[in-house]
Amino acid sequence: MQKRKYYNPVFIFSMLLLIVSSCNPEDGEDGAMGAQGEQGIQGEQGPAGDDATLTTPAAYGTWEVISEVGSDVAKYVYINEDNTLEILSEDQLGFKRAERTNVTVSVNQIITNDLYGSIGIFGINNYEVSDDILTITRSNDSDPIIMQRSTTVPAPSNWINELTVLDEGNTAWDRDVDIAFDGTYLLGLNSNSYNIEQINPIDFNVEGIIPTTHSAYAVEIEKSDAADKQLFQSSNGSQIFHSYIYSSNTFNYTSLDLGAWIYGIASIVPGELWAASGSEKTLYHYWAHEPISPGEILGNITLDFQPRGLDYRDGFLYVTEGNRIHKCQTSPEFKAIESYELRRHNVTGITYDGTNFWLAATSWNDYDTQKLIKVDLTL
């Protein structure tokens, strides 16, 4: 009889458990991926490397020029951290200017695309600072500019006084002129009609005309209470001016030869005046003798710019140039003592109405429109 075999259940269960536990989990199918855990908190930022250090250019600041450069002698320079350069200059006769341009400043160079006569830097200019002395080596191999750091440099707004517009009106004039005031009206040439127009300063209407045979781009009323006071007229680009009796428009005399393109005339007293020549860049002091035929030149002042409109009040000669008006003493020596500017305008004429100065000017935004502008400049 055949013997049967019996297996212990405990033994069988133990063997199955051993087999299951010894299987490689990678041999089976992948299970589904669980959800990503929350992001951890970022650690503190480490220290910057050596190449992250920034050096502020030593050229930044305010400087007083201690070396003479240019025909306009630069006095003070602002090198600003907004990469602008401001230059305050004054020539030998006291005429002040303020220039501003954009620059790029590094630790050893100042770069600009503008050429400014007062310090004459253009392109790439190397510099160094030592003991508060700034030396700029100019790109054109001119003598270096030497400046000393200063905390007492005047503000640009105090160097040249900015004027405020009180009133203004358009004219029909098609070009720049010098103007006059006869006690009631503003006078200026309309070259379209070749008439000197008398303009009401209240509403800017033309109230009358004075016919002329000259291109009288400069006109002036003689400072006189006489009934036969004169009206002076320039004549296009010529080097003479003409005198007429204002009340009758009767010809009086023609001046001696001065410089060409007389842009401005200013009466001082009866028979005495100043005239400005654009071509010669010269102011002529003129005297017309009695009887008037034709006078003499008492002296002249040579400038480094083209003077435009003139006016003479209370012992001072006012000279216009670009957007600036210069107040000048004429004795004991000629010198500009104060400068003003009308921002973003080109000023060609000036006169006084007894209270305020008026300017003939064009806006930089509209060169085609000639304006009469009343400003807050007084005596």
Instruction: Please indicate, yes or no, if residue 165 is contained in any of the structural domains.
Output: yes
Q: Which two tokens stand for residue 52?
A: 């992250």
- The pLDDT of 353-369, averaged and rounded, is 95
Domain endpoint, select from 141, 159, 177: 159
The answer on pLDDT for 88 being more than 70 is: yes
Whether pTM exceeds 0.85: no
Q: Are residues 168 and 283 in the same domain?
A: yes
Whether 129 and 175 map to the same domain: the answer is no
Is residue 46 assigned to a domain? no
- Same domain (yes/no): 148, 167: no
- Does the residue 34 lie in any domain? no
Which pLDDT score, from 0 to 100, does residue 30 have?
A: 47
Angle at CA of residue 356, ends 285 and 319, nearest 5°: 30
Q: Which of 159, 186, 220 is the last residue of a domain?
A: 159
178-195 pLDDT, tens per residue? 999 999 999 999 988 989
Are 136 and 200 in a shared domain?
A: no
Q: What is the pLDDT of residue 51?
A: 52
Q: What CATH code is carried by the domain that includes residue 305?
A: 2.130.10.10
| pLDDT given for residue 121 in this prediction | 78
Between residues 250 and 32, the one the model is more confident about: 250
| Of 293 and 130, more confident | 130
Q: Which of the residue ranges 170-174, 232-236, 291-295 would you say has the lowest mean pLDDT? A: 291-295
Within a domain: residue 35? no
Residue 294 confidence (pLDDT)? 82
Mean pLDDT of 248-254: 95
Q: Are residues 106 and 166 in the same domain?
A: no
Q: Assess whether pLDDT exceeds 80 at residue 114.
A: no
Q: Please state which of the ranges 107-121, 143-157, 354-368 shows the lowest mean pLDDT.
A: 107-121
Q: What is the share, in percent, of the chain residues with pLDDT greater than 90? A: 73
3-class SS string, the chain: CCCCCCCCHHHHHHHHHHHHHCCCHHHCCCCCCCCCCCCCCCCCCCCCCHHHCCCCCCCCEEEEECCCCCCCEEEEEEECCCCEEEEEEECCCCCEEEEEEECEECCCEEEECCCCCCCCCCEEEEEEEECCEEEEECCCCCCCEEEEECCCCCCHHHHCEECCEEEEEECCCCCCCCCEECCCCEEEEECCCCEEEEECCCCCCEEEEEECCCCCCCEEECCCCCCCCEEEEECCCCCCEEEEECCCCEEEEECCCCCCCEEEEEEEECCEEEEEECCCCEEEEEECCCCCCCCEEEEEEECCCCCCCEEEECCEEEEEECCEEEEEECCCCCEEEEEEECCCEEEEEEEECCCCEEEEEEECCEEEEEEEEEECCCC
- Check whether residue 238 and residue 338 sit in a common domain: yes
Task: Please check whether residues 203 and 124 belong to one and the same domain.
Answer: no
Whether the pLDDT of residue 22 is over 80: the answer is: no
Average pLDDT over residues 373-378: 99
End position of a domain, from candidates 107, 132, 159: 159
Q: Give the range among 7-16, 60-69, 343-352 with minimum mean pLDDT.
A: 7-16
Per-residue pLDDT at 257 exceeds 60: yes
Q: What is the pLDDT confidence band of residue 379, given thresholds at 50, 70 and 90?
A: very high
Q: Could you tell me the pLDDT band of residue 239, with boundaries at 50, 70 and 90? A: very high
pLDDT at 54: 73
Does residue 267 sit in the same domain as residue 168? yes
Residues 281 and 201 in one domain: yes
Q: Classify residue 177: in a domain, yes or no.
A: yes
pLDDT of residue 280: 98
Residue 11 vs residue 270, higher pLDDT: 270
Kindly state whether residue 44 falls inside one of the protein's structural domains: no
Name which of 175, 286, 303, 173 is nearest 222 in CA terms. Answer: 286
Q: Are residues 231 and 264 in the same domain?
A: yes
For residue 40, tell me if it sits in a domain: no
Range of the domain at 199: 161-375
Q: Which of 96-105, 176-185, 273-282 has the lowest mean pLDDT?
A: 96-105
Do 262 and 328 belong together in one domain? yes
Q: How many structural domains does the chain have? A: 2
Q: Taking the chain, what is the end-to-end CA distance rounded to the nearest angstrom?
A: 150
Tokens of 318: 């006012």
Lowest mean pLDDT among 7-16, 33-42, 140-149, 162-171: 7-16
CATH of the domain at 67: 2.40.128.50
As a whole number, the mean pLDDT across the chain is 87
Let me know whether 146 and 222 are in one domain: no
Q: Is residue 343 part of a domain?
A: yes
pLDDT tens profile 126-165: 999 999 999 999 888 788 999 999 999 999 999 999 999 9
